[in-house]
Chains A and B, each alone.
Chain A
Amino acid sequence: MKCEDCVALLEEYGEDELGESLSDDVRAHVAACVACASAFEEMRRAEEAYTSYFLAAEPTSALWTNFQQGIEREKAARSISTRFRQLLANVFGVLSDRPAYAATLALIAVGITFGVMKYRDSREGSHLEAVSVPTSEGTDLRSPSSSTDADKALAMELKRKMEDQRETIGSDGAVLEGNKGNKRPRETLLAVKRGYAKRTKPGATTPDAKSLSNDSVRRAEQRYLAAIAALSPNVNRRRRQLDGGAIAQLNQAIADLDRMIADTRKAVREHPNDPLAVMYMTLAYEKKVEVFRQLARS
């Protein structure tokens, strides 16, 4: 065997990767050749140095304890995730299988939203109805003596309302509510003016009944907001304990509920005297509060 052939095989020889016959040849050559023996010795010492390097690296004794704690956290997270899936199944009365109840939840949200939209479309096309802007004093702005006087009274009322609530007017004329940076359009000046110019049909609800309806809507809204505010800290704490999949489902469920609430609120604002619109809105509030309540308790 030549030296160049031997050197090319030294690594595999050292790793016992050569067949028996070739190993014998290399062994015999190394025994007889000083240069190849030196090369093989260098290789061997390098391997020893690498092994010594890795031998010196040892983990700490805390590794097993940390691993056990990690497993306990995994078990706790799985338990919460399982209980949350059961909670959603109980709340919405559907199977706890992820794709099935996620799809069912989406269908419920779509169905209610569609129903509300169809209801609103049918009501807008069927009759004219005054759009009352409830004020803090309960003043009914529907029946001014003349359009000019009505416009002036409306402008003054809105101006006062804006000053009270620190509202600003958007570039499109929308009255925006300033609420900790969360601005959303409630109703446009144009819609208010248009609605203000309409007259109610004979036999429409009396101002007193209207005020009562507005009051009940406001009370429902206040109760809803108070309940969500009270429950949100616990819900957020539970949310942090869920795994990624459960968090995504929870967020989707809450987003669907919020969409329902926004649509029903809009319907109530446009048709505050309609008990069906108020019922839809109250139902949506109750659903969200119930979800939060059960999640906070789990």
Chain B
Amino acid sequence: MTDIATAGYLGAYAGTLMNDVRSLTERIRCGDEDAFRLIFQQHHRLIFKFIYGMLGDRALAEELTQETFLGAYRNRVTLRDDVKPSTWLYAIAKNLSRGSLRSRYRQIKAAESEPSPAVELSQDQSPAPDEQLLNKELNRVIHDALAELDEDKRLVFTLKILKQFSYGEMAEITGFSIPKLKTDLHRAKAEMRRRVRLYLEVSDEV
């Protein structure tokens, strides 16, 4: 296939994709339950992980994940053709998370002293080898380090780690400029590395 034909094929494929996205958008606006089932299946796990990264509370993350999709259903007519459903969902999740953070700031601080998230996430109660213990400890350190980041950095860091959004997509979700996104991400990673470095070195020795 020549470059031009390839480009044409890819263009047609991209056009088909865009048409698929657009038709999904229209179906979402109409309240099509199958369309909502589809976007739920595609995005609910990552939306949950995103909110969990923001709030550090599993039960609250589950509640706000449900609220994200319900909010999307309630406001489905506001979904524009030029916005991807995923970007739209993350924007809703972001607003809910920030609202929850502002009203529950003290509870978030209290969550830093809660039992290790590694314990919460793992159902395994049997004695674990050193490496697994270290992973649990590392998870706890990451959990605490995330809670120490300010909201903006935590938001950018979580979006980037989870889904590897482009800076353009993150700008759409967060409303931040791209220079601010890059700066916040760089600083967030530097702070996180400072906190976890020791545990990475220790795990190297195990």
User: What string of 1s and 0s marks CB contacts (under 8 Å) between B71-88 and chain A?
Assistant: 001100000000000000
* CB atoms of B40 and A64 under 8 A apart: yes
Q: Which of B11-19, B20-28, B47-55 contacts A (4 or more CB under 8 A)?
A: B47-55
Which B residues are in CB contact (< 8 Å) with A46? 189, 192-193, 196-197, 200
Minimum CB–CB distance from A65 to chain B (whole Å) comes to: 10
* CB atoms of B58 and A43 under 8 A apart: no
Q: How far is the CA of A41 from the CA of B44 in the complex (A)?
A: 32
Interface flag for A124 (CB, 8 Å): no
Interface flag for B180 (CB, 8 Å): no
Which residue of B73, B142, B186 is within 8 Å of A71 (Cβ)?
B73
Minimum CB–CB distance from B144 to chain A (whole Å) comes to: 11
Interface flag for A56 (CB, 8 Å): yes
| Majority DSSP secondary structure for residues of A touching B | helix
Which B residues are in CB contact (< 8 Å) with A51? 161
Minimum CB–CB distance from B141 to chain A (whole Å) comes to: 9
* CB atoms of B73 and A74 under 8 A apart: yes
* CB atoms of A67 and B66 under 8 A apart: yes
Q: How far is the CA of A42 from the CA of B49 in the complex (A)?
A: 24
Which residue of A43, A56, A59, A64 is within 8 Å of B118 (Cβ)?
A56
Chain B: interface residue total (CB-CB under 8 A): 40
* CB atoms of B161 and A49 under 8 A apart: no
* CB atoms of B48 and A71 under 8 A apart: no
Which A residues are in CB contact (< 8 Å) with B142? 49-50, 53
Shortest Cβ distance from A52 into B: residue: B135
Q: A57-B52, A59-B45 are in contact. Are A49 and B122 (CB under 8 A)?
A: no
| Majority DSSP secondary structure for residues of B touching A | helix
Q: How far is the CA of A47 from the CA of B196 in the complex (A)?
A: 11
Interface flag for B70 (CB, 8 Å): yes
Which A residues are in CB contact (< 8 Å) with B117? 57
Q: How far is the CA of A56 from the CA of B118 in the complex (A)?
A: 8
Minimum CB–CB distance from B93 to chain A (whole Å) comes to: 12
User: What string of 1s and 0s marks CB contacts (under 8 Å) between A19-62 and chain B?
Assistant: 00000000000000000000000110111011111101111100
Minimum CB–CB distance from A138 to chain B (whole Å) comes to: 60
Which residue of B45, B66, B158, B189 is within 8 Å of A58 (Cβ)?
B45
Minimum CB–CB distance from B90 to chain A (whole Å) comes to: 14
Shortest Cβ distance from A69 into B: residue: B66
Interface flag for A173 (CB, 8 Å): no
User: What string of 1s and 0s marks CB contacts (under 8 Å) between B118-142 and chain A?
Assistant: 1001100000000000010011001
Interface flag for B65 (CB, 8 Å): yes
Which residue of A11, A47, A56, A64 is within 8 Å of B186 (Cβ)?
A11
Which residue of A11, A15, A53, A66 is within 8 Å of B139 (Cβ)?
A53
Given contacts A57-B121, A63-B62, 11 further A-B contacts (CB under 8 A): A11-B189, A46-B200, A49-B199, A53-B143, A54-B52, A54-B161, A56-B139, A59-B44, A60-B62, A70-B69, A71-B36
Measuring CB to CB, which residues of chain B are less than 8 angstroms from any residue of chain A?
A: 33, 36, 40, 44-45, 48-49, 52-53, 58, 61-62, 65-66, 69-70, 73-74, 117-118, 121-122, 135, 138-139, 142-143, 158, 160-162, 164, 186, 189, 192-193, 196-197, 199-200
